[in-house]
A and B are shown apart, each in its own frame.
Chain A
Amino acid sequence: MDISVWFFISSGLFLGWSLGANNAVSLFGTAVTSKMIKFKKAAIIAGVFVVLGSFISGAGTTATLTNLGGINAIAGSFTVALAVAISITGMTRASLPVSTSQAVVGAIIGWNIFTGSPTDINSLTKIVSSWVVSPVIAGIFGFLIFKIVKNTVLKWKIHMLEIDSYTRTGLIIVGAMASYSMGANNIANVMGMFAPASPFNEIKILDYYSISGIQQLFLLGGLAIAVGIFTYGNKVMKTVGTDLYKISPITGFVIVLAGALVLWLFTSQSLEILLLENGLPSIPLVPLSATQSFIGAVIGVGLAKDPQSINFRVFGKIGIGWVVAPITAGILAYVLLFFVQNVFEQKVIQQVPYEISKSVIEQLEQDGIETEKISDLVNKRFLQNKIFRYELLKRYPYNTEQLYSIFHYAIIDSFKIDSMLVLKSLSDNLLAYDQIEEIKRLHGKSFSHKIDFETAVFYDKNQWELNGNLLRDKNISDKKILIQNIFRVTPLSKAK
């Protein structure tokens, strides 16, 4: 592996470090400032669980960020992470409670604009609405949990010293939960932009277990967060911990529990499946602002205690953060990308060819997207996103969503079907007998567009078409991605 990779990843690691340093106060601030738990113990618990969370459950939120913008060149990832780190530092100095999650989204969009890549409006809407919803849910949780805890303590007449013991244990448990959820939810911010351009190869351990390149990235990012907690968490706790987090341990317990639950809701793939199994709408897996979730919980508990005691200006500050953080990071990313590309001559995007084939036109027509005006572009190959975008817009004023669809269908993505790979790569029972037979039938065929590959492989509508059953649809989509990855000749994720 090229040594320069470490240089490029360093900006992500720095981001992780700063995330750890700033978020330690949310996880164990109350416990440590109230002297219920010693900092060292808190840091060890937080560090271990952040790493575990990142490594085990980081995939869900990363997928959402990757959909928003697949930064596929490591110098691009480096620059985006650097833009986030710089803008976060600046805004923290201006005492704005901004979050890494929000800056990351802005910076990725900055990359999209700079490289001419379209932004997935669906993912963006999902992410932005989650920022608004998450502190509200945390507030509701905080309110309810506080009421339950207070009533239980009053009803069961538990001795103050016993409550103290329970709270101490509770703070450790919810702190660990919150650390795990924070690691899983926020690792996407630290390493998500490196995921499509992951420089690591899979490591096999004793033939039974393997650690993928992305998992190695997550492990590294998790460790960076843990180092942030260890090295700087205490200092932040001492400065920040004395105002917002100077609350009684039992209230602190409620707040951390509420915040952790919210982070978990927006992170857990198991919960997503459980909801889908019961025919319920799933919660989007989105990287959130841990701090803002905790502030939401603080406000919820405040409402439960005394509604008049709440400083509603906090909402205003959070709202400003939602707008200012992404815009600042986006502009900065754009400027930095310009310098990195033109002054340092680094590749900030791995150019992928696009070509509008007949099947692409058919698919676009099916989606109700204007195709007549771009008919002259059929079978022309474009090697740069920007030019492709320019040519499209010159002919018809497509909106962002339509552009995203055209880019999505027109991307040249090579597939070659080798039926042996199906048997080798797929675990038992994943595909039905008929489905495997269908794939075998296509042995040796090649496709240059994903859409052609999909039409050939997933032609049986009974088996492959989405029908609105949320769980079935999710399973089918996952299977499709898996099959595409098996037959992809030069996976985009490995293009560097």
Chain B
Amino acid sequence: MFLKKTKKLETQIDEYLDLVIKGGLIFKLGIKCYLDNQIESFEDHLKDLRKVEETADDLRRNIEIKLYTRTLIPESRGDVLGLMESCDKVLNITAETLLEFSVEIPKLLPELKNDFLDIAESSISCLENTVSGIRAYFRNVDAVRDYVTKVQFYKKETNKTAERIKRTVFRTDNELSFKIHTRYFTFHIERIAEESEDVCDKLSIATIKRFE
């Protein structure tokens, strides 16, 4: 009986994390469509992603209010809210990046298509494992470490791919503006992995505090 409200909040937190995962998947699809020159589908994905981001924002605020007004998990709510806000930031970066593709329509070298698919894949893997880590933080603290390790691995892979893209583009005869534009988009996709790693750092500390 007394767990009814708690269960509802648990479901809301899970729904929020589902939205973050969904956002990451839409981002990957969006990048693929852009690289395949399917602009209409790309724009649809962008719309979807912005909608997901808005819904996630509302849900997060709702959860925050509940945690504070009901003084739930008083010792951990600072950590929980910090994690959710950081997660939200990563989701915002995915939406912003896709929006920048839509606005600036960067020209990308065809030979870099696979690299861009790879970097999108690995940075979203970072985000997905971060979300799994947060889920584990709520239920299965022992498993958090595994996810953090995975995030660190994918983040390194993302950095490697980003470096490869930049090395390739800066060794072509294209205009400097073209090179810098490519670097700029690489940097934005790479940021998803960087921010995910930051979330994981917070997650590791929060996990240690769980049984203090």
Q: Could you list which residues of chain A lie within 8 angstroms of chain B, going by C-beta atoms?
A: 34-36, 150, 154, 157-162, 164-165, 169, 247-251, 305
Contacts of B81 in A (CB 8 A): none
Q: Is B102 an interface residue (CB 8 A)?
A: no
Closest 3 CB pairs of A and B: A35-B74, A160-B138, A157-B139
Contacts of B137 in A (CB 8 A): 160
- Other-chain contact of A34, B7, B74, B80, B142 (Cβ < 8 Å): B74
Q: Is B112 an interface residue (CB 8 A)?
A: no
B139 adjacent to A160 (CB under 8 Å): yes
A248 adjacent to B6 (CB under 8 Å): no
Q: Chain B 183-212 against A: per-residue CB contact (8 Å), 1 yes, 0 no?
A: 000000000000000000000000001111
- Other-chain contact of B6, A34, A35, A150, A164 (Cβ < 8 Å): A164
Bound state CA distance, A463 and B211, in angstroms? 58
Contacts of B209 in A (CB 8 A): 248
B32 to chain A, nearest CB (A): 35
Query: When A and B form their complex, what is the total count of cross-chain residue pairs whose Cβ atoms lie within 8 Å?
Result: 55
16 examples of A-B residue contacts, CB within 8 angstroms: A34-B74, A35-B74, A36-B74, A158-B139, A159-B138, A161-B9, A161-B72, A161-B138, A164-B6, A164-B73, A165-B3, A169-B2, A248-B209, A248-B212, A249-B75, A305-B211
A161 adjacent to B211 (CB under 8 Å): no
B212 adjacent to A247 (CB under 8 Å): yes
Contacts of B174 in A (CB 8 A): none
Q: Is B37 an interface residue (CB 8 A)?
A: no
Q: Is B71 an interface residue (CB 8 A)?
A: yes
B208 to chain A, nearest CB (A): 11
Contacts of B13 in A (CB 8 A): 161
Among B73, B75, B137, max chain A CB count under 10 A is at B75
Q: Chain B 44-76 against A: per-residue CB contact (8 Å), 1 yes, 0 no?
A: 000000000000000000000000000111111
- Since A164-B72, A305-B211 are in contact, a sample of 8 more A-B pairs with Cβ atoms closer than 8 Å, ordered by chain A residue number, is A157-B140, A159-B6, A159-B139, A160-B73, A160-B80, A160-B210, A162-B3, A248-B209
Bound state CA distance, A34 and B212, in angstroms? 13
Given A35-B74, A161-B10, A161-B72: A154 and B3 interface contact (C-beta under 8 Å) = no
Contacts of B71 in A (CB 8 A): 35-36
A160 adjacent to B76 (CB under 8 Å): yes
Bound state CA distance, A158 and B210, in angstroms? 13
Contacts of B211 in A (CB 8 A): 150, 248, 250-251, 305
B212 adjacent to A154 (CB under 8 Å): no
A251 adjacent to B140 (CB under 8 Å): no
Contacts of B25 in A (CB 8 A): none
- Chain B's closest residue to A160 (CB) is B138
Bound state CA distance, A154 and B138, in angstroms? 11
A165 adjacent to B75 (CB under 8 Å): no
Bound state CA distance, A36 and B71, in angstroms? 7
- Chain A's closest residue to B137 (CB) is A160
A305 adjacent to B9 (CB under 8 Å): no
B64 to chain A, nearest CB (A): 14
A305 adjacent to B138 (CB under 8 Å): no
Given A154-B142, A248-B212: A34 and B10 interface contact (C-beta under 8 Å) = no
Contacts of A164 in B (CB 8 A): 6, 72-73
Bound state CA distance, A146 and B141, in angstroms? 16
Bound state CA distance, A169 and B1, in angstroms? 13
- Chain B's closest residue to A158 (CB) is B139
Contacts of A159 in B (CB 8 A): 6, 10, 138-139
- Other-chain contact of B74, A158, A161, A169, A249 (Cβ < 8 Å): A249
Bound state CA distance, A164 and B72, in angstroms? 7
- Chain B's closest residue to A249 (CB) is B75
B75 adjacent to A248 (CB under 8 Å): yes
Q: Chain B 120-153 against A: per-residue CB contact (8 Å), 1 yes, 0 no?
A: 0000000000000000011111100000000000
B4 to chain A, nearest CB (A): 10
Bound state CA distance, A250 and B3, in angstroms? 17
Bound state CA distance, A249 and B211, in angstroms? 10
Contacts of A150 in B (CB 8 A): 211
A242 to chain B, nearest CB (A): 14
A302 to chain B, nearest CB (A): 10
A12 to chain B, nearest CB (A): 38
Contacts of B2 in A (CB 8 A): 165, 169
B65 to chain A, nearest CB (A): 15
Bound state CA distance, A35 and B70, in angstroms? 10
Bound state CA distance, A251 and B76, in angstroms? 13
B16 to chain A, nearest CB (A): 13
Contacts of B142 in A (CB 8 A): 154
Q: Chain B 100-121 against A: per-residue CB contact (8 Å), 1 yes, 0 no?
A: 0000000000000000000000
Contacts of A248 in B (CB 8 A): 75, 209-212
Contacts of B7 in A (CB 8 A): 162
Bound state CA distance, A34 and B2, in angstroms? 20
Contacts of B139 in A (CB 8 A): 157-160
Bound state CA distance, A150 and B141, in angstroms? 11
Bound state CA distance, A159 and B135, in angstroms? 9
Bound state CA distance, A150 and B210, in angstroms? 10
Bound state CA distance, A412 and B73, in angstroms? 65
Bound state CA distance, A160 and B76, in angstroms? 9
A170 to chain B, nearest CB (A): 12
Bound state CA distance, A161 and B7, in angstroms? 8
Bound state CA distance, A165 and B7, in angstroms? 10
A209 to chain B, nearest CB (A): 36
Contacts of A169 in B (CB 8 A): 2
A162 adjacent to B10 (CB under 8 Å): yes
Bound state CA distance, A327 and B168, in angstroms? 84
A298 to chain B, nearest CB (A): 13
Bound state CA distance, A169 and B137, in angstroms? 22
Bound state CA distance, A34 and B75, in angstroms? 7
Bound state CA distance, A150 and B142, in angstroms? 11
Bound state CA distance, A367 and B211, in angstroms? 58
Contacts of A34 in B (CB 8 A): 74-75
Q: Which of B1-24 contact A (CB under 8 A)?
A: 2-3, 6-7, 9-10, 13
Bound state CA distance, A34 and B72, in angstroms? 10
